[in-house]
Amino acid sequence: MYDWLHQAAHILAHDGQKTPTALKQEYQQLLATMKEQQDQLGELAASVTHFCKVTASYWDGLFACYQVKDLPRTNNGLEQYFGSARHAERRVTGRKRASPALVIRGAVRVVAAGASRFLTISATQLRLTDLEAWHTLRQQLEYRHEARRMQLRFRRDPDAYLAALEQRLLTPTLPS
């Protein structure tokens, strides 16, 4: 069992010479071998079942880091990535907490901050190419803006906000 675990770790340690498809096939072959020889393990036989179950639950995202260049392979690497974006945001704004702009536009700003560290982006690359994706992103941002506006309206005058909400709820929407 320990040899198989070391093999799995070796496959996932990937040195960059194999394609993600080849890695998946190699890993699937290892899992198949583990299942075939599971009966020979005695008390550790149940651990193969558990290992395969956990692997299956992570399967969709298990090889994503090999498909996207410079994507961190571990949760610690991702935490460092997002932590550095948060740190840069704090340095720029002078705030100790996340700025409201980061909360609203986080999906765009964090990706832009991460990309700008690794790449030099020209004006031609910033040109709009997929209008529908841009509209979808703008709708998501507008939804977040509206949620923030509603929070502000509630904080300013909770009674008036709740009265307006109650009035909208009690007003029939269908013609009678």
Residue 123: its H or E element: helix 123-126
First-to-last C-alpha distance (Å) of the chain: 71
> Where residue 102 falls among pLDDT bands split at 50, 70, 90?
low
Is the pTM of the predicted complex or chain greater than 0.85? no
| Whether 59 and 108 share a structural domain | no
| Whether 92 and 148 share a structural domain | no
| Whether 44 and 63 share a structural domain | yes
For residue 30, the model assigns a pLDDT of 92
DSSP single-letter state for residue 39:
G
**Cα separation of 145 and 100, whole Å?**
10
Identity of residue 43 = E
Q: Residue range 111-115: average pLDDT?
A: 70
Taking Cα atoms as reference points, which of 104, 105, 107, 106 lies closest to residue 150? 104
| Whether 77 and 54 share a structural domain | no
| Whether 91 and 63 share a structural domain | no
Structure-token pair, residue 27: 């890993």
Q: Residue range 117-141: average pLDDT?
A: 83
Q: Residue range 50-64: average pLDDT?
A: 86
| Whether 174 and 145 share a structural domain | yes
| Whether 63 and 76 share a structural domain | no
The domain boundary, picked from 18, 33, 67, lies at 67
Identity of residue 71 = L
Distances 70 to 9, 27, 65, 114 between C-alpha atoms, Å: 19, 22, 8, 10
pLDDT at 29 over 90: yes
| Whether 6 and 61 share a structural domain | yes
Instruction: Quote the number of domains for the chain.
Output: 3
| Whether 9 and 55 share a structural domain | yes
Burial class (CB in 10 A: 0-12, 13-18, 19+), 130: exposed
What is the overall mean pLDDT for the chain? 81
Range of the domain at 100: 72-124
